[in-house]
Amino acid sequence: MSALPVEATDTTAPPSGATAPAAGLPAQAGAPHPETRTPRPPAPRRGTRFALPVALALLAVPLITAAHHSRPAPYGDHLTVHARVADAERAAVPALRTKGRAVQAYDPESGGVRWTYTREGQRPLRTLGAPGHAFTLWSDGLVTDTARADGGSVRWHRAVPGSAGWLRGPAARGGAGVLQPLTSGARMLAVVTPHRIAAYRTADGDLRWVLPARTGCAFEPSRSVRTGGALLVAQPCAGPATSWTAQLIAVDDYGRIVPGRTPLGNGDLGPEN
């Protein structure tokens, strides 16, 4: 039995006014071809167009805040205020003490702790109080200044070069005498180590001058005394021929005190605290 060819028939009706081409013949030039059109979605309302960006922005705020609080504190600082001071200028000046790995400021009248300052992995060796300032020497050789009255901030950090190893040894005597206030109130702080004396402006921690020890000699911070507006620091030397006068120096806000000296550019130290 022979099979007859089957002709496929397009059952789609031609559009009105158009004539379908005869079977087996090409469509005439210019004749429109039937198209399949996808319906367009309705245009979004103006309120919807702006609602999505606003919602995304609101969702991003908690994420940004969480990322900010999760960042590690600079220098490993942790400063906790336990008691708010309504008027820090009129409040009693808090006393300072080191307790374990923390520096604490407490009210001298009530004994209550105002603030606590710690640093991750470090311990405070010495504290020095001055009007408006709480200076601390840490075991890694860092010196910090905290707002003494209310513990509102740690104003500045300054690293003392080459001091961490020396501070761990017995010769340092736990940092005794390293922090020394200079004259003119609390405007200048001297940091004394065997190799040098560095002076910092307390208002912002600006380094004002550095005095290196004499060759063959070394400063002894624990052997220092204040007299007549000057800080006297022992500078023992190895050589027996060194006179005793060379083994003792005097410094103040402007550097080493010698006859006819020229101040080391410290004419403007800022207002006294």
The one-digit pLDDT tens for each residue of the chain (273 residues) are 444 443 344 444 444 444 444 444 444 444 445 555 555 655 555 555 555 555 555 555 454 443 333 345 689 999 999 988 776 566 789 999 999 999 999 998 888 999 999 999 999 999 999 999 999 999 999 999 999 999 999 999 999 988 999 999 999 999 999 999 997 678 999 999 999 999 999 999 999 999 999 999 999 999 999 988 899 999 999 877 778 888 999 999 999 998 888 765 555 555 555
If you count DSSP H runs as helices and E runs as strands, how many of each does the chain have, helices first? 2, 16
What span, in angstroms and rounded, lies between the C-alpha atoms of 139 and 236? Answer: 25
| Contact by Cβ (8 Å): 236, 198 | no
C-alpha distances out from residue 207 to 176, 179, 190, 198, Å: 21, 14, 10, 7
**Number of Cα atoms under 13 Å in the Cβ half of residue 215:** 0
Q: Where does 74-159 sit in CATH, by number?
A: 2.40.10.480
Backbone angles phi, psi at 149, to 5 degrees: -65, -50
Whole-angstrom Cα distance, residue 88 to residue 39? 72
Asked if 80 and 105 touch (Cβ cutoff 8 Å), the reply is no
- Count the helix, strand and coil residues of the chain and give each as a percent rounded to the nearest 5: 15, 35, 50
In order of 81, 238, 254, 258, the CA distances from 261 in angstroms are 45, 27, 10, 6
The predicted model scores a pTM of 0.70
Q: Tell me which H or E stretch contains 57.
A: helix 46-70
* pLDDT for the residue 252: 93
For residue 149, give the 3-state DSSP assignment: coil
Calpha distance 79→154 (Å, rounded) = 8
Strand runs (DSSP E) across the chain, as ranges?
77-81, 95-99, 102-106, 113-119, 124-130, 133-138, 142-147, 154-159, 179-181, 188-192, 196-201, 206-212, 220-227, 230-234, 248-252, 255-256
Nearest Cα neighbor of 22 from 35, 10, 34 is 10
What is the distance between the alpha carbons of residues 193 and 203, in angstroms, rounded to a whole number?
22
The pLDDT value recorded for residue 91 is 72
Residues 187 and 123: their CA atoms lie apart, in Å, by 26
Kindly list the domain boundaries of the chain, sorted by start residue: 74-159, 168-264
**List of residues 6+ apart from 228 with CB closer than 8 A:** none
Tell me the C-alpha distance between 17 and 255, whole Å. 106
pLDDT of residue 262: 75
Tell me the backbone φ, ψ of residue 246, rounded to 5 degrees.
-80, -10
